[in-house]
Amino acid sequence: MGSRVAAALLRRGKDQASALLTPRLPRSAPAPALPRVGSTSSCGSGGGGGGGCLLPPRPGPAGAFSSASRFASFHVFRSFAPKTLFGQCARKMSTSAAALNSTVANGAANSGLKLLVTKGPQAQKAVGIWLFGCAAWVFSLVILGGITRLTRSGLSMTDWKFTGEIPPMSDDAWQLEFEKYKQSPEYKRVNKGMSLEDFKFIYWMEYAHRMWGRALGFLFAGPFAYFIAKGYVTPQLGFRLSALFALGGAQGLIGWWMVKSGLEEPTSEYVQPRVSPYRLATHLTSAFAIYCGILWTALSVVMPDPPTGSMNWVNGAAKIRKLAIPVSAVVGITAISGAFVAGNDAGHAYNSFPKMGDTWIPEDVFSMEPFVRNFFENTSTVQLNHRILATATLLSVSGLWLAARKIDMHPAVKSLIGSTFGMAALQVTLGISTLLMYVPTSLGSAHQAGALTLLSLMLLLTHTLRRPSPTLLKSLATAVKST
């Protein structure tokens, strides 16, 4: 008796799923989103949507892919929803639930959708959470590095070991480290007469920055090895993550290479010791590359295909994508130009806006030879360059936002573009405030965090606007022809 009831419920669920997955809208209207896995419409329950039930895909290759692709894109968030009554019943019928899970999994496999993670939804969710956590860690590491620079703490440790070292634990050990620092150009020309307590502060700042970076290595390597052992990671994902891990290891060497330039005697007695702007820009660019690589990979894991809904929305996204890619490049170049502003201490010059002092363009902007050095070493030119790029960023993001308002596309994409425009305006405001306030640590670090946040939003937008897989496009085209 129980088996016959279970079979009847299963047949009824399949019939309801087939009816729900068949579009019945006019040609001009966007296709409706498929019912969420475990939603009330698919389970026949009056309660809230949940993750207890799984809809089988509609028969046929196009319908099967339509269901499977959406399932692959959003099933990682399924467990956060409340359980429905039907879902509780389905858990008691383990054979039926297993059959439905197998149907959806086979639909994704047969559809040609290339997933970066195998072993099902739980594995995909675990890898996604881990990668987003690593990206957040890199974000915090970049901000901590900015605070270390703004407090002039980066040159407090005069040596470096790849494996790290134990901090001073006794008065004698602290005195030994302090004596090493007294031999550095920064102490002799900037911090002469500094007390031991003041030295401890800048030492701990630099030590925290280094150890926070090493901790990221363990946070990345441990789960990575575990996921490989469990068979979750595909060769494509494994290669990508291995490259990011190698770049992370090289980042420590780049950081010491940068610091070492600040421990050398300046060429002139009137110049304050500081790290090379070229090496600082290399260090920051490498950090940005690691962050963007991890974030992009995390998004690809949890969202194998972009949100679509209809061919009109896909075509609208293609138009915006042509604008979003160059805008993303402008945002990235502007962020890197900020590294040269920091490396030349250009933020402490011309603390006025919109003019630079009494003029719009300083007279010494091209005073260095050869000519190209002005763009990387001349304080006046570096700040002017950053101002121009920041203005170009705000104008380009504004143009992207205005263009998006006239194009029919997914509401989530429009909302994301609006958020990006708001962040660009906030970032310019932070930059002007930082300049006028003579670069306080709080505003300087907020400005750096704003740059990385704006870059994150542009990365998310570009990822969301990417072209859907050919099979998904074929599925949408078939749905339009059938209406």
pLDDT at 47: 38
CA–CA dist 437, 469 (Å, integer): 49
Q: Is residue 107 within 8 Å of residue 337, measured between CB atoms?
A: no
Res. 457: pLDDT tops 90: yes
Instruction: Report the candidate in 72, 67, 20, 10 with the shortest Cα–Cα distance to residue 42.
Output: 20
Query: pLDDT tens digits for 388-401?
Result: 999 999 999 999 99
Instruction: Report the candidate in 92, 80, 69, 94 with the shortest Cα–Cα distance to residue 38.
Output: 80
- Mean pLDDT in residue range 23-43: 40
CA–CA dist 395, 454 (Å, integer): 14
- Mean pLDDT in residue range 274-302: 95
pLDDT at 338: 95
Query: pLDDT tens digits for 344-372?
Result: 999 999 999 999 999 999 999 999 999 99
Domain segments of the chain: what residues?
Answer: 114-302, 305-482
SS3 (DSSP) at 443: helix
Q: What is the pTM of this model?
A: 0.77
- Mean pLDDT in residue range 391-414: 93
- Mean pLDDT in residue range 451-480: 82
- Mean pLDDT in residue range 415-423: 96
Backbone torsion region of residue 350, taken as left when φ is above 0, otherwise alpha when ψ lies between -120 and 50, otherwise beta:
left
Cα 236 to Cα 114, 233, 438, distances in angstroms: 10, 8, 47
SS3 (DSSP) at 283: helix
CA–CA dist 399, 414 (Å, integer): 13
pLDDT at 446: 97
Res. 60: pLDDT tops 60: no
Higher pLDDT residue, 422 or 161? 422
Mean pLDDT in the chain?
80
